[in-house]
Amino acid sequence: MKIMVETSARHIHVTKEVFATLFGADATLTKKKDLSQPGQFACAEKVKVVGPKGEMMMSILGPERSATQVEVALTDARKLGIVAPVRESGDIAGTPGCKLVGPVGECEIECGVIAAKRHIHLTPEAAAEFGVTDKQIVSVKVGENTGRATTFGDVVVRVSPSYAPAMHIDTDESNAAGLSGTVDGEVIL
């Protein structure tokens, strides 16, 4: 069973309120390009994320969310000086926070910095074809022709009618497998 594997670089999801603080009350997200998941897009706006040891610029992904979340690779977290737990997107309770700096203002978020758990997005129809269910844990083999073939374990399956089939890994994981661009992975149950 093949699945498209995409590398998800560091990024931030913001609430309407946090975006207004960083960019101004009348500012709106500017779509730069659509992403593979329906309705999701990369924005032209970037935010400086500041931790105890360092800072880095990150792109905002839209649309606005109900909670602000900063997704980093573990290498990024070390550079920032933040111990980011590996979590599913949206599971931010008890996670570390950071300072966000925009062109108009700045704010401290109390929580929300995570290293996203590797995951597969599937529609209910695709999940039925694969023979998997929501929250099931699978493995995915990638990089057969890179000289660094890797099998990723602990891949969580996420099923929703609003998804398009794709696996997401972070830049550390992609680099470990020697991947370049979007590749095919083999799902192993």
pLDDT of residue 189: 93
pLDDT of residue 144: 87
| DSSP, residue by residue, the chain | -EEEEEE--SEEE--HHHHHHHH-TT----EEEE-SSTT-EEEEEEEEEE-SS-EEEEEEEES--SS-EEE--HHHHHHHT--PPEE-TT--TT---EEEE-SS-EEEESS-EEEEPPEEEE-HHHHHHHT--TT-EEEEEE-TTTT--EEEEEEEEEE-TT--SEEEE-HHHHHHTT--SSEEEEEE-
pLDDT of residue 145: 83
Q: Is pTM, for the whole model, over 0.85?
A: yes
Q: Give the tens place of pLDDT for each residue, 49-89.
A: 999 999 999 999 999 999 999 999 999 999 999 999 999 99
Which residues of the chain have a pLDDT value below 70? none
Sequence ranges of the domains in the chain: 9-116, 119-188
pLDDT of residue 11: 98
